[in-house]
């Protein structure tokens, strides 16, 4: 954590919370879990998020939304700090995650088909008047 004056383009934790939809407590927890690099602090020790911090937070959110485990996100952040020599490992991590996303999407498509089938079934029943407790 570097102690510097807040650059004009930096954001407070409340502004980041508003921009991302994450609570302030969640942002602090993610930082403690090392899901993004430590955030710069101003002279009052308040967090100040840079454009780069926001970019990393948005990537982390996408990775979480798509089901990447916390340990893998933490590993990705560690690799980011490792510089260019970690590009291959980062690539492998993202490719593996992409494969899981595609598998999940395939399963979700099948599940959606099942839900659509049931919607069609109940639409027919309602249309035939079979939704009444005592049909006329």
pLDDT digits (tens, 9 = 90+) for 33-85: 988 888 999 999 999 999 999 999 999 999 999 999 999 999 999 999 999 99
The model's confidence at residue 2, banded by pLDDT at 50, 70 and 90, is very low
Encode pLDDT of 80-122 as tens digits.
999 999 999 999 999 999 999 999 999 999 999 999 999 999 9
For residue 85, with 0-12 CB atoms within 10 Å meaning exposed, 13-18 middle and 19 or more buried, which class applies?
Answer: exposed
Q: Distance between CA 108 and CA 116 in Å, rounded?
A: 12
Residue 37 has a pLDDT of 82
Instruction: Kindly report the pTM of this predicted structure.
Output: 0.75
**What is the distance between the alpha carbons of residues 53 and 100, in angstroms, rounded to a whole number?**
26
Domain count, the chain: 1
Q: Could you give the CA distance from residue 54 to residue 74 in angstroms, rounded to a whole number?
A: 16
Q: How many CB atoms lie within 10 A of CB 119?
A: 10
Domain of residue 35, residue span:
1-66
Question: For residues 74 and 30, is the Cβ–Cβ distance under 8 A?
Answer: no
Residue 57 lies in a domain: yes
Residue 88 resides in a domain: no
Looking at the domain assignment, is residue 7 inside a domain?
A: yes
């Amino acid at each position: 954590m570097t102690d510097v004056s807040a650059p004009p383009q930096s954001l407070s934790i409340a502004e980041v919370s508003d921009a991302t939809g994450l609570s302030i407590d969640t942002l602090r927890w993610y930082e403690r879990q090392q899901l993004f690099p430590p955030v710069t602090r101003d002279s009052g020790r308040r967090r100040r998020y840079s454009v780069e911090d926001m970019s990393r937070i948005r990537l982390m959110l996408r990775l979480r939304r798509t089901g990447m485990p916390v340990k893998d996100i933490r590993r990705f952040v560690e690799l980011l700090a490792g510089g260019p020599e970690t590009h291959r490992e980062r690539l492998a991590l993202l490719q593996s995650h992409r494969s899981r996303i595609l598998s999940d999407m395939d399963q979700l498509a099948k599940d959606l088909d099942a839900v659509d089938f049931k919607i069609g079934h109940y639409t027919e029943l309602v249309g035939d008047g079979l939704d009444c407790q005592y049909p006329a």
